[in-house]
C-alpha cells in the first residue's frame, strides 16, 4: 500500500540526490505537500494573526514514494521535541 501523506504527519524525505529533509507535513493536496522544516517567531507585531514564519519544502506526488512516515500528532499545537 502506498503512503498518502497527511497534515500533521512527521516524515523524512531522502530525495534522489541523497539529501535528507525531515519535518511536519504542513499542507497536503493531490498536487503537492509541504514539509515544514523550520519555524521562528516574527520580529514585529504588524500582523496579529500570523505570529510565526514557517519555512517549508514542496514535495510533488512523483516523489512521495521517497517519504518515510515517522509518526503523527493530533494537531499543529501539540509539541513534540523528542523526535
pTM for this entry: 0.80
Domain boundaries, the chain: 9-72
Question: Where does 29-66 show beta strands of DSSP type E?
Answer: 33-41, 52-59
Q: List Cβ neighbours of 62 (8 Å cut-off, separation of 6 or more).
A: none
60-76: per-residue pLDDT in tens?
999 999 999 999 998 77
Tell me how far CA of residue 17 lies from CA of 8, 21, 63, 65, in angstroms: 26, 11, 12, 14
Would you say residue 81 has pLDDT above 80?
A: no
Mean pLDDT of 39-47: 80
The more confident residue out of 12 and 1 is 12
Amino acid at each position: 500500500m502506498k503512503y498518502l501523506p497527511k497534515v500533521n504527519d512527521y516524515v523524512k524525505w531522502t530525495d534522489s540526490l541523497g539529501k535528507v529533509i525531515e519535518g511536519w507535513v504542513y499542507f497536503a493536496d493531490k498536487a503537492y505537500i509541504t514539509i515544514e522544516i523550520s519555524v521562528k517567531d516574527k520580529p514585529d507585531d504588524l500582523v496579529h494573526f500570523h505570529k510565526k514564519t514557517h519555512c517549508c519544502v514542496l514535495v510533488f506526488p512523483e516523489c512521495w514514494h521517497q517519504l518515510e512516515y515517522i509518526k503523527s500528532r493530533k494537531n499543529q499545537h501539540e509539541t513534540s521535541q523528542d523526535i
